[in-house]
Structure 1
Amino acid sequence: MNAYRSPRSRTVRGLVVASTLLLAAACSATPTSSGGTTSTAGFTPPNIPMQKSLGPGEGVVNIVAWAGYVEYGQDSKTVDWVSAFTKQTGCKVNVKVAGTSDEMVALMKTGQYDTVSASGDATLRLIAGGNVAPVNTALVPNYADIYPALKNQPWNSVNGVAYGIPHGRGANLLMYNTAKVTPAPTSWSAVFSPSSPYTGHITAYDDPIYIADAALYLMKTKPELGIKNPYALTQAQLTAATDLLKVQKQQVGSYWSDYTKEQAAFDSGDDLLGTTWEVIQQAVAADGKVKTKAILPSEGATGWSDTWMIAAKAAHPNCAYQWMNYIVSPKVNAEVAEYFGEAPANSKACALITDNPSFCADYHAADESYWKNVYYWNTPTKLCLDGSGKNDCTTYAQWVTAWNEIKG
């Protein structure tokens, strides 16, 4: 495993109000039909045409991406998959690294970018806002090798129409200091118990989407609340999750969004347990200062699956399609996954990871039984995402308001 990683940093540095309100409005209306099919996302996507064929590359592609996804040797000369792409296609890459999903949405709204590596807490906002177009997967040959479980999911498709190409996935795990936290935890109750002996040394993810972690815990431990999906919460269920997180706040020593801060806090002993990513636990282990373990608790966990999407008015759509096909090709997807610290989306990628033969086993790349207990990030909408057909769930805008109340 590489010693250096550049995982995502998804802080709440200010709500992008326009995009949030746009999604709230789109998802508050009574669902309508399009072509005889009611939208599964709670809104009817704007009528944006899908590209039918590829033409010559335009010579450039402008990309919005998470740190670590579009490397061109800026941090290490050995980490560069952009140069090969440009040589192969003639498309020069311009990349804007975004720090949050809100920032990604805002950048895509400017119309200056061709493609984006969006997470599930941004994808439906981009679709509802008319900022991205349906993706013609026939123009992305490597799409055939993407794990089937990542295709046509609620966060990357609407009404069976694909709006992106899956890139990679990860779970939000429970990490703990094995020397200080005893007995070893098996449940999220370790971080949600109001009587925790580790008060002041618990850490939690700093983002409205963290509400889903509390909702998942309540879904498994308080069935009387009727939660069926951690991203489909009625007002009463959202209030229950909010109340749990307000109690938890009294136990939390620090919130994190920058992975290096959590890594440093565990190294120093300030943090003893809390939500994490596999790559952070691996980094702490590599530091060798403390011994930790990251587990998928008995209730399961939330997680993320990132998606390459194409702008509705992309100035360089042919280069953008070539980029999407290239970045999920087996070799490159393997390189990005190992560098970034995630399970690759391409089913042929694992055979090409040689630096760490156990990498794909460590990240459960092909273990679908593992992912069945992971609830990938999605954008809360008024039409409940639990398949009930009910139209009384809370929207992302309401989650943001609740999160601001929790943080105070």
Structure 2
Amino acid sequence: MRKKRTLAGTAAFGLALALSLAACGTEDAGDDSSPDSASEGPGGFVPPDIAMADSLGDNEGTLSVLAWPGYAEDGSTDKAVDWVTPFEKQTGCDVSVKYFNTSDEAVTLMKSGQYDVVSASGDATLRLIAAGDVAPVNTDLIPNYADEYDFLKDRPWNSVGGQMYGVPHGYGANLLMYNTDVVKPAPTSWRAVFEDASTYSGKVTAYDSPIYIADAALYLMKTQPDLGIKDPYALDADQLAAAVDLLKAQKEHVGEYWSDYLKEISAFESGDSVVGTTWQVIVNYTKANVEAILPEEGATGWSDTWMISSKTEVPNCAYAWLNHIISPEANAAVAEWFGEAPANPKACDLTSEGFCDGYHAGDESYADQIHYWTTPIEQCLDGRTDVSCTTYQDWTQAWTEIKG
């Protein structure tokens, strides 16, 4: 039997879970194929040598899914929202779902080997690859992969040395939202939440995660070129220190750090927050007079990736899931329920009118302004080899220091 999750509370709570965020076949018997172990990613990152499937067989009958809430709906939250049951009927793979609330939690859970596939954001993917917890994927075995937007493929957070480690799922930008009745003139820059934060002291909000350090780094990259930041996820010790100093100064004016989207909506509707980072879906649901922009410096954002455990014993069902979840039907359903742009352009034909335009789906000029979450690693992702860069662990320690 499929393990159903138990959701208590109102429909709004269910929707909150569905919208909360922060986005290879393993060895087959007798398969000795693997990507070139010498393939390098940015900065010389070399992944473990893990075999990749070169063919598929009969589905095994079960699949354990580890996912962000809202990415694997089976009708339990809303009877009309279900893309798990059709998969089970089509493939015979009985699905169980475990939800996680943070990327750190997902990384820890994947180490157990209990889960066959995971929806990983960019602040988790390289950690999973480096630890050998996920396998390279043979995209030739995933027919729907060919339809996905090219600008989401072979990126630093989902591939190494040209080898994909999953399939793109959905993406979006971390925008700047402001109360139009209070914040005047309308902001055009992240300066509103950094250097000008004192103007709205106590009513500034920011995303609660170490990866938010990249938002400060992006602002410094555009406004203080002497720091030499070329990639907001590739910070040496001095560059990280500059970002930390900026965020410590900001903290004096932050009323709330948020990770639960309902809390940010509530804060803007009550007036407790008037300016800060947001997602497009939050803008859509907030009843206060708000607008959101992609600031002139660009923005951070997410492009989530479905990956396959290197320890899975059900590679056929795992590959079937990856192909299903990026199919036009499933990708459209997830995008609308979760609130993000789909990775498959064919999904836009199945979404409500204006949905894909609202989320800038397929707009490459818009996507080029997004610096997608990527795991900071010691090998500088900007290609520098004369220094070591700070790691996600360093960022986690810094975030604790910032928040006090």
TM-score normalized with structure 1 length: 0.90
Instruction: Identify the residue that residue 300 of structure 1 maps to in structure 2.
Output: 298
2:391 maps to a residue whose letter is T
Could you tell me which residue of structure 2 aligns to residue 51 of structure 1?
A: 53
Q: 1:405 maps to what in 2?
A: 401
Is there any run of 5+ residues in structure 2 with no aligned partner, and where? 1-10, 23-35
Q: Tell me the equivalent position of 1:104.
A: 106
Q: Which residue of 1 aligns with 2:336?
A: 338
Q: Which one of the candidate residues 65, 69, 72 is aligned to 1:70?
A: 72
Pick the aligned partner of 1:136 from 130, 135, 138. 138
User: Match of 1:72, as an amino acid?
Assistant: D
- 1:134-184 Cα offsets, whole Å, 9 max, x none, are 001011100000100000100000111110100000100000011111111
Is the contact made by 2:64 and 2:115 (CA closer than 8 Å) also made in structure 1?
A: yes
Q: How does 1:301-340 map to 2 (within 5 A)?
A: 301-340=299-338
Deviations 1:73-93 (A, max 9, x none): 111100011111111110111
Match of 1:61 in 2: 63
What CA distance in whole angstroms lies between the structure 1 residues aligned with 2:37 and 2:399?
37
Which of 383, 386, 389 matches 1:393? 389
Q: What's the offset of the Cα at 1:269?
A: 1.1
CA distance in 2, matches of 1:203, 1:35: 44
Contact 1:194 1:251 in 2 (8 A): no
Distance 2:73 2:39 in 1: 41
Structure 1 position 202, deviation (Å):
0.4
Aligned residues of 2:236 and 2:387 also touching (Cα < 8 A) = no
Q: What does residue 358 of structure 1 align with?
A: 354
Query: 1:197 aligns to what SS in structure 2?
Result: helix
Indicate if the aligned counterparts of 2:43 and 2:382 stay in contact, CA closer than 8 A.
Answer: no
Aligned CA RMSD, in angstroms, stands at 1.5
Question: What secondary structure, in the 3-state scheme, does the structure 2 residue paired with 1:349 have?
Answer: helix
CA-CA distance at 1:315 after TM superposition:
1.9
Give 1:181-330 correspondences, 5 Å limit: 181-193=183-195, 196-284=198-286, 288=287, 290-330=288-328
Q: Identify which range, 388-397 or 82-91, moves more after superposition.
A: 388-397
* 1:42–1:381 Cα contact (<8 Å) kept: no
Q: Call closer, same or farther: CA 1:281–1:390 in 2, change over 3 Å.
A: farther
SS at match of 1:133: coil
Q: Tell me if structure 1 keeps the 8 A contact 2:50–2:310.
A: yes
SS in 2 for 1:132: coil
> What is the alpha-carbon distance in structure 1 between the residues aligned to residue 210 and residue 80 of structure 2?
36
Deviations 1:283-333 (A, max 9, x none): 10xxx3x11001000100000000000000102111111011001001110
Q: How many Å apart are 1:43 and its aligned residue? A: 3.2
**Residue 89 (structure 2) aligned to one of 87, 91, 94:** 87
- Residue 115, structure 1, aligned to residue 113, structure 2: no
1:379 is paired with a residue of what secondary structure?
A: coil
State the partner residue of 2:19: 7
Q: Percent identity?
A: 62
Cα distance change of structure 1 residues 390 and 259 upon mapping to structure 2, 3 Å threshold: farther
Distance 2:119 2:386 in 1: 30
CA distance in 1, matches of 2:124, 2:177: 26
Separation of aligned partners in 1, 2:120 and 2:43 = 17
The structural deviation recorded for 1:223 is: 0.6
Q: Report the count of equivalent residues.
A: 378
Amino acid at match of 1:363: Y
How far residue 197 of structure 1 moved from its aligned partner, in angstroms, is: 1.6
SS of residue paired to 2:185? coil
Match of 2:170 in 1: 168
Work out whether residues 194 and 248 of structure 1, in 8 Å CA contact, stay in contact via their aligned partners in 2.
no
**Which residue does 1:22 correspond to in 2?**
none
Alpha-carbon distance change, 41 to 168 in structure 1, aligned in 2, over 3 angstroms: farther
CA distance in 2, matches of 1:141, 1:387: 33
Q: Distance in 1 between matches of 2:103 and 2:41?
A: 23
* Counterpart position of 2:32: none
User: How much has 1:381 moved relative to structure 2?
Assistant: 1.1
Query: Distance between the aligned counterparts of 1:175 and 1:369, measured in 2?
Result: 21
Distance (whole Å) between structure 1 residues aligned to residue 321 and residue 87 of structure 2? 8
